[in-house]
Amino acid sequence: MRFSKRLDRFGDEVFASLNARRRELEAQGREVIDLSVGTPDFEPSAHVKEALVEAAKDSNMWKYALADLPELTQAVIDYYASRFGVEGLEPNMIMSVNGTQEGMGRMASALLDEGDLVLVPDPCYPLFRASALIAGADLAFYPLSAETNFLPDVSRIDSAVADRAKYMVVSLPANPVGSVGTPEVYAQIIEFARAHDLLIVHDNAYSDIIFDGVEGHSFFENEGASEVGVEFFSLSKSFNMTGARVSFLVGRPDVIVAVRKLRAQSDYGMFLPIQRAAIAALTGPREQVREQERRYQERRDALCDGLESIGWERPNAHGSMFVWARLPHGRTDSMAFCLELMEKAGVIVTPGASFGPGGEGFVRMALVLPPEGLRRAVAAIEASGL
């Protein structure tokens, strides 16, 4: 059978190869400390789980959803107002998607034609590249580098490239590099979008995992953002609902209409008990979310302090559940380093090169263990000689 040529746009998935080797090491009786995948180990709140269970007892909740519950849409509107201070959202500016992964893929297919151009960060979460490539678009990269504190610098983007681009993906706090946006950066991005008539697609997955007393924000808190952008707002990390796949596309109504039209061709809506759980998360108390952010900072400190103490450059880690660390001792090949680290230390991290050319020379580590577990990982790295 001849398969689609679009498969040729993608290489091997790095997490699959790392996981395969992990299974081999564990079969040999080796202890493996996995810091490669960002799956939270915290639990969802009790009231969220109870809402899901109670809804699932109702037989009517097992029918096709067909659309978002009005209560869910209103919960998003109220959450943006109370959490971010964003007023003026209307129901036609909000739709649920089955996780940002699926949502961004749908959006790309709804907005892009073959040969269109998309601006993506380098390095970036692979989804940003993959969603555009599946839609047949071309990619142009803008750098996130140490020289700019791993923040977007639109002055470095060629004007001709920007004029051709249909949309620009911005992700702050950023996976994998751990940088956090500022009002000044957002103001420059919004002005850039106006000047070049392009859409800003903001991924807001980590607004509740930011460190050192900095408050997390929404893109729409910035003047003019609603005219030029949409935002994916995920419940996965703030509320530990990764497997439930709950995210929202928020922003310009014309984009929402386009994505809804495409979704209607293949989707009957989000499972109603999951919608009820999402309502509970958005309308419930937030003390657990704030406490969780504090505990993530404890983990960040344990890992970064530990790596620095054994001779690594202190990683970039201001937000998100990841630490972005430069390879030690002049090493440059991130994949080779990760394989050697796994063999010698039993510690699995993600090679920076898997996030784009600008990621070479770095590794990403996920804050998915308590501080004592992360200190154990540092000790294993030190003992390995790496």
**Sign of dihedral through CA atoms 276, 319, 335, 10?**
positive
Residues 92 and 25 in one domain: no
**Model confidence at 287: pLDDT above 70:** yes
Specify the number of domains making up the chain: 2
Residue where a domain stops, chosen among 219, 250, 283: 283
What would the mean pLDDT of 256-261 be, rounded to a whole number? 97
Nearest-CA neighbor of 295 among 370, 206, 204?
A: 370
Q: What is the pLDDT of residues 128-158, one digit of tens each?
A: 999 999 999 999 999 999 999 999 999 999 9
Residues 223 and 315 in one domain: no
- Of 29 and 71, more confident: 71
Note the residue count of the chain: 386
Residues 165 and 244 in one domain: yes
Average pLDDT over all residues of the chain: 95
Domain harbouring 99, CATH code: 3.40.640.10
Residue where a domain stops, chosen among 250, 266, 283: 283
52 inside domain:
no
Residue where a domain stops, chosen among 265, 283, 301: 283
Residues 236 and 154 in one domain: yes
Residues 26 and 71 in one domain: no
32 inside domain:
yes
Residues 229 and 207 in one domain: yes
- pLDDT reported for residue 386: 82
Residues 225 and 115 in one domain: yes
- How far, in whole angstroms, is CA 385 from its chain's centroid? 32
51 inside domain:
no
Do 169 and 142 touch, CB atoms closer than 8 A?
A: no
Give percent of the chain with pLDDT exceeding 90.
Answer: 90
Domain harbouring 294, CATH code: 3.90.1150.10
SS3 156: helix
What would the mean pLDDT of 234-253 be, rounded to a whole number? 97
State the pTM of this model.
0.94
321 inside domain:
yes
Residues 124 and 201 in one domain: yes
Residues 11 and 122 in one domain: no
Residues 224 and 326 in one domain: no
233 inside domain:
yes
50 inside domain:
no
What is the Cα–Cα distance from 369 to 351, expressed in whole angstroms?
Answer: 19
- pLDDT reported for residue 12: 63
Do 145 and 289 touch, CB atoms closer than 8 A?
A: no
Q: What is the pLDDT of residues 5-57, one digit of tens each?
A: 888 877 666 667 777 777 888 788 888 999 998 889 999 999 999 999 999 99
197 inside domain:
yes
Range of the domain at 73: 60-283
Residues 166 and 217 in one domain: yes
- pLDDT reported for residue 29: 81
Q: What is the pLDDT of residues 92-103, one digit of tens each?
A: 999 999 999 999
Do 64 and 268 touch, CB atoms closer than 8 A?
A: yes
54 inside domain:
no
Residues 122 and 149 in one domain: yes
- pLDDT reported for residue 13: 65
Nearest-CA neighbor of 377 among 311, 303, 300?
A: 303
What would the mean pLDDT of 261-284 be, rounded to a whole number? 96
For Cα atoms 63, 67, 71, give the angle at the middle one, nearest 5 degrees: 100
